[in-house]
Amino acid sequence: MKRHVLWARLGSGWRQGLLWLWLGFTMGCASLSTFQTPATLEKGKAAIGFGASGVNGSIPAILEASGRVGLGRQTDAGVKVTIPGTITGDLKWQWYRSPGLQAAFDVAVSYFNSSENGEDFKSGAVMPALLVGNRHWYAGGRLVFFSSEGTFNFFGSRDFQVSTTFPGLFFGLALGNRLQFMPEVNVYFSTGDSQGALLHYGIGVRYGL
């Protein structure tokens, strides 16, 4: 069956419902965690981190490892790798700083590619975000531009292609100084006919080198 045919035969409500289910069960294909404050590293400084996150209590936790480096001018960059294999890079710029409050823009790009048993999956996401807080707490919003395509073996081989945009909110703590423990909650919202929210939560550890 040609790409889009199966998808086009479904009504918009069913498409959004299936898409939301897809995002829940394949959250590892686009990294949806935050695990960072609006603070940026000084030029030449670096940090490493590890985390685990999941959705709604019914999906196995996604494990991740990350690293960040300061670039100067209130800017730093990071790379994150998850199991099952999503790679995410981001660039963060802190545009406001006072003794008690900081704010930053962050833009992340995520990519996933898998091929196994005749099933192929590719997905990508661009995720701009606004963060506020300080060294010990963070909150903000994110917009996810998500796209996925591939072939799955479900009642025969089927091609699919999905693109969508959905917003999210997040809140987390950064407990400690050089070594920080970071519990957080992210909530993502469906923008289609099928209304709903995807609760994404986790805990991370970050260490400044």
29 has a pLDDT exceeding 90: no
Type of residue found at 97: R
More confident residue, 15 or 198: 198
Overall pTM surpassing 0.85 (yes/no) = no
Domains of the chain, residue spans:
5-208
61 vs 65, more confident: 65
- The tens digit of pLDDT for each residue in 114-153 reads 776 666 778 889 999 999 999 999 999 999 998 877 766 6
Average pLDDT of 82-108? 93
- Look at residue 106 and tell me whether its pLDDT is greater than 90: yes
Q: What are phi and psi of 77, to 5 degrees?
A: -135, 150
Instruction: Name residues whose C-beta falls within 8 Å of residue 52's C-beta, 6 or more positions apart in sequence.
Output: 61, 62, 63, 64, 202, 203, 204
Q: Which two tokens stand for residue 104?
A: 């930053």
Beta pairing partners, 77: 69, 91
Bridge partners for 142 per DSSP: 129, 168
